[in-house]
A and B are shown apart, each in its own frame.
Chain A
Amino acid sequence: IQLTQSPSSLSASVGDRVTITCRASQAISSYLAWYQQKPGKAPKLLISAASTLQSGVPSRFSGSGSGTDFTLTISSLQPEDFATYYCEQLNSYPLTFGGGTKVEIK
């Protein structure tokens, strides 16, 4: 199953609303995770099952979607949110990740 993330990169300002999309090549129910990764660090799980916010993750992050189309939304971008975001499907093996979306400061 291929996951296509868009955009591959974006520039935004603090306070902006940011939306990242992840499209699966076939239906994956809600078996989708979103991760945040900062340079030199391991990924951090933000959202599981397409929309469940992990404990400790700020509520400005939200996820939605099912089937083939998913979105990660940051309602008001904060300085610490500048990072690369990845989606991952857990519907079937081989597990696959999207290509990533790098969120940069405008």
Chain B
Amino acid sequence: EVQLVESGGDWVQPGGSLRISCAASGFTFSNYWMSWVRQTPGKGLEWVANIKQDGSEKYYLDSVKGRVTISRDNAKSSLYLQMNSLRAEDTAVYYCACPHYYESGRFYVDYWGQGTPVTVSS
């Protein structure tokens, strides 16, 4: 059974830092790109970052560039998101996701975690 289990979500003051993690199991983690997607309270979904299988390529949402770093440890089947200089607008549930399903040149997210909440507030 595929599992993506996020952890590390917390309350943090504006300007602070936080690292959230995702432990993957049930599939060959090192074979797939991985993603972070967030959802603000009562609002929609927002893609945050992607990382290639070996970590050599990373892509970010413009509003988090320079403040957020996606990384992975394939030996531990784990994904991370280091968030610095946090702002109130970063408050969201952060989902770990795997674009595992391939079709016609693109990988689609069909594996999702349960989400970890991050609150940025003074």
Contacts and interface: CB of A to CB of B under 8 A. Distances in A.
Interface stretch (A10-18, A19-27, A68-76, A95-103): A95-103
Interface of B: 44-47, 50, 59-62, 95, 101, 103-110, 112-115
A83 interface: no
8 contacts: A30-B104, A33-B109, A37-B45, A42-B95, A43-B45, A43-B109, A49-B106, A100-B45
Contact of B114 (A42, A86, A95): A42
A52 B47 contact: no
Interface of A: 30-31, 33, 35, 37, 42-45, 48-49, 52, 54, 86, 88, 90, 93-100
A42 B112 contact: yes
Contacts of A44: 112
Given A48-B101, A48-B106, A94-B59, 14 more contacts: A31-B105, A33-B108, A42-B113, A42-B115, A43-B109, A49-B104, A49-B106, A52-B103, A86-B44, A88-B47, A90-B108, A94-B47, A95-B47, A96-B47
Nearest to B104: A49
B62 A94 contact: yes
B61 A94 contact: yes
A31 B101 contact: no
Contacts of B112: 42-44
